[in-house]
Structure 1
Amino acid sequence: MSDGAKRKTGLTANAVKHARPRDKDYKLSDRDGLYLLVKTTGIRYWRMNYRFGGQQRTLSFGRWPEILLGDAREMLLEARRQLAKGLDPLEQAKLEKIAKSIAATNTFQAVAEEWLAKIEKEGLAPITLKKARWLLAQTYPVLGRRPISEITAHELLLVLKKIEASKRYDTANRIRSTCSQVFRYAIATARAERDICSDLRGALVTPRTNHRAAITTAADAGALLRAVEDYEGNALTRIALRLLPHLFVRPGELRWAEWSEFDFDKAVWTIPDHKMKMRRPHAVPLSRQALAIIGEIEHDASYSGFLFPSLRALDRPMSDNTINAALRRLGFSKDQMTGHGFRAMAATLLNEMGIWNPDAIERQLAHADGNSIRRAYARGQYWEERVRMMQHWSDYIDQLRDGATILRPKFGHSAS
């Protein structure tokens, strides 16, 4: 074959494969400016020489056999297209390398972990952080290494549908919501253009809301309170179970209660913002009954910082299932009463009294108020009313507990 014919047809895959090292580096020319540089070590590189801006430049496409002959020719063709557009292929290659490096640090998992670190610094409750990490971790096997800007709504939907197929409908919806927060953070930090999660609204099964079981009539409340007084389990659990109706805070807030948060001289418990669902500090007036019940606790802060420490570790609070387990032991099923149900019981009966401002009740329940000005106003205006209300409430539920005229109903037990 003539030299002209060889230049026209170029190299063959076999010729590239059998190119052997020599005493000096040498080139095997292909076509259109592509050549194989064979090093003395035997390593082979695909390269092209070209002129740009009056200067001679060399572009490397990679090493054989990672880059095969056909691949190198495709890369050469793209470089020639860039030259035709007035672009420098070498500079374009550098920019692409930088883009890939940035993309590698902007994977969905990397951005998600950065967002988690941010909300942790903002004081989000440990239990909420743990839940968010658990939800996001379920997307990592499929989406974790994907650049967040390249993830499509369909990709995320496939992940969510797989979770939904196991009938974990609420989990799938919570993951979508948490991922949405990550995407919004990515937008704010210039790592994504839009929140793809918004495209999935209505695509998932929405589970029917099951309101927490609660006893909300005066007669049934009296029976419940008498049952609580008869509790024969752990002494500290009994105190917590008796205290919760007087305070009607969320069970988790009671579990994590610390001695340092109580001002017994002023009869107030101030729960810090990082322990509250709405991320705002909350003050709970302590009635005489609540103070007396707390006074029955036989340890102080030198023993454990928590009022209700775990039986296994003094630096941890009691289990999150302790209150509900105690209610089950008393015979109340999960469909009849839960620790959270004491809030509904208080809200219902206090409103039925008709003597308390509904806003004062809502404020004592630490419910959210979307209007920040109104929220600040309510906090100041209703404090004295809340103090009176909490004492009245304790007096009232004591009367319900002791009321001889209130019959104790049977909660779901069949007649023997």
Structure 2
Amino acid sequence: MWLIRRLPFKQVAELFLVKREREDQISIDSEIKEARKEADEQGRTVSESVLKDIKSKRRATQDIKSRLDNYLLPKLGKIPIKKIEKPLVVKVLEPIEKRGNLETVKRCCQIVRQIAEFAESKGYISSKEYANFITLNNAFSKPKSSNQLTVNPERLGEVMEKMGNSNIQITTRAAFELMLHLLSRTGEISKLRWDEYNEAEGIIKIGGYRMKGNNSHIIPLSPQAKAILDYMHPITGDSEYVFPSCKPGGKKPYMNPQTVNMAMKRSGLGGTIVAHGLRSVGSTTLNDCQKFGHIERFDPEQVEVCLAHMDKNSVRLIYNGAEYVEKRREILSWWSEFILKQTGNFYSLAGQVSRGK
């Protein structure tokens, strides 16, 4: 007990990091297993680029270690864990707050709380001592939440006009429009592989190891979305990725996830909307579809699944069944038609290829 009372904060933090790294490795192993299972079902092997992506995407523990080394351990590292109290931590973090680094302060408070929780679970501190750190972040100003820039559905035509008049590479244009039609995240599109596209069934299936929340995601394709993929196949069909990197021998074999954002900014949309904001436009439109001409309201849970906002308990049944995939296809097909209507006569790759032009 005497030794535990003298256990320094640095040593407890190191033990906490070992636990985190072990959990990260379990998660990595699980995702690799899922990727290999999916590949086996399709009669192929997992590519090295996919394995490398899975192994390298665990950054949270590294971020924690970096903040510990830079902000917490220099002042708190040698102090016994039992002697660290809230006022002491506040004193350490106040200079960072004065410099305006509120997000760093917020993250450091979370790290101290996580380490204190770990210490309590190991018996290094009491439950009462851990409770002191639960409201640590209340001692500081909260960072402003940075909402993703977006527009109202009525302004989607402006977005399509500027992108239609923009001189961008055809692969970037296709990625932008596919992202919009599928309501997907930038990383889901930039890393989209040809083996995830089932042309016969008209769906894209992305494994959980590639999705936020680690839930696999089936995307039923509208005719316009399918037309974009069919257009891209003669261009990049020999590549593993639908949108390969334009830099041969680059760090990543797929398109930079920020490419679409940069193209939107160059088109004059900087300060108006970002790529992720396209999902908000779709969500608003689909949840208020009657305002935009649809006869009846779409099922809100189905709309959430279209956006890959998946809760394992509440949407599992409406997600897995084939009939529900087709219901989502109806939703996304209506959304694609809405996009083309808003686009009007401005250039649209989806509009051109889906009409056979």
State the TM-score bracket (shorter-chain normalisation).
0.7 to 0.9
**1:397 Cα shift?**
0.8
Residue 327 in structure 1 maps to residue 264 in structure 2: yes
1-structure distance, mates of 2:206, 2:200:
16
Q: CA RMSD in A?
A: 3.2
Answering whether residue 92 of structure 2 is matched by residue 152 of structure 1, we say: no
| Contact 2:103/2:143 (<8 A) preserved | yes
> 1:169: Cα distance to partner?
1.3
Q: Residue by residue, what CA displacement relative to the aligned partner does 1:20-61 show, whole Å, maximum 9, x if unpaired?
A: xxxxxxxxxxxxxxxxxxxxxxxxxxxxxxxxxxxxxxxxxx
Deviation at 1:193, TM superposition (A): 4.2
2:14 aligned with 1:109: yes
| Partner secondary structure for residue 327 of structure 2 | helix
Q: 1:235-257 CA deviation, whole Å, 9 max, x = no partner?
A: 32222112111011121222222
Distance of aligned partners of 1:283 and 1:193 in 2 relative to their CA distance in 1, 3 Å threshold: farther
**1:89-121 superposed Cα distances (whole Å, 9 cap, x missing partner):** xxxxxx96x769986994313422431331342
Equivalent residue in structure 2 for 1:361, among 296, 303, 307:
303
Counterpart of 2:47 in structure 1 is none
- Residues 257-276 of structure 1: per-residue CA shift (max 9 Å, x gap): 22332222222222222332
Partners in 2 of 1:397 and 1:238 — Cα distance? 15
Partner of residue 9, structure 1: none
Code of the residue aligned with 1:160 in structure 2: it is L
Aligned to 2:169: 234
Of stretches 351-360 and 339-348 in structure 1, the one that deviates more from structure 2 is: 351-360
Does residue 170 of the first structure (1) align with residue 106 of the second (2)? no
- The answer to whether the aligner puts 1:276 opposite 2:206 as a matched pair is no
CA shift in 2, pair 1:367/1:187, >3 Å = farther
Q: What secondary structure sits across from 2:261 in the alignment?
A: helix
Higher-helix-fraction structure = 2
Tell me the TM-score normalized by structure 2.
0.73
Amino acid at match of 2:229: I
Q: Which residue of 2 aligns with 1:389?
A: 331
Give the whole-Å Cα distance in 1 for the aligned partners of 2:153 and 2:275.
16
Q: Distance in 2 between matches of 1:403 and 1:159?
A: 59
**Alpha-carbon deviation of 1:367?**
2.2
Q: How many residues align?
A: 304
- How far apart, in 2, do the equivalents of 1:314 and 1:118 lie? 27
Do structure 1's residue 139 and structure 2's residue 68 form an aligned pair? yes
Structure 2, unaligned runs of 5 or more: 32-53, 291-296, 347-357
Query: Structure 2 CA distance, aligned partners of 1:316 and 1:149?
Result: 49
Deviations 1:286-317 (A, max 9, x none): 222112212333123x5344634352527443
Aligned partners of 2:307 and 2:104: how far apart in 1?
26
Structure 2 counterparts to residues 168-207 of structure 1, below 5 A: 168-190=101-123, 193-194=126-127, 195=130, 197-207=133-143
Q: Describe how 1:8-407 pairs up with structure 2 within 5 A.
A: 106-123=11-28, 129-141=58-70, 142-143=72-73, 145-146=77-78, 151-190=84-123, 193-194=126-127, 195=130, 197-218=133-154, 220-297=155-232, 298-300=235-237, 303-305=239-241, 307-309=243-245, 311=247, 313=250, 315-334=252-271, 336-354=272-290, 355-367=297-309, 369=311, 372-380=312-320, 382-402=324-344
Deviation at 1:182, TM superposition (A): 4.3
SS of corresponding position for 1:374: coil
Partner of 1:269, secondary structure, is: strand
Deviation at 1:399, TM superposition (A): 1.6
Matched residue type, 1:318: M
Instruction: From the two aligned structures, give the one with the greater strand fraction.
Output: 1
1:165/1:254 CA distance change after superposition, 3 Å: farther
Cα deviations across residues 329-385 of structure 1 (Å, max 9, x unaligned)?
Answer: 100123x1000010010011112213311111112112254xx53232342474332
Alignment TM-score, normalising by the size of structure 1: 0.63
CA distance in 2, matches of 1:315, 1:169: 32
Identity over aligned pairs, percent: 20
Name 2:34's counterpart in structure 1.
none
* Rounded Cα–Cα distance in structure 1 between residues aligned with 2:5 and 2:57: 34
Q: Give the 3-state SS of the residue equivalent to 1:397 in structure 2.
A: helix
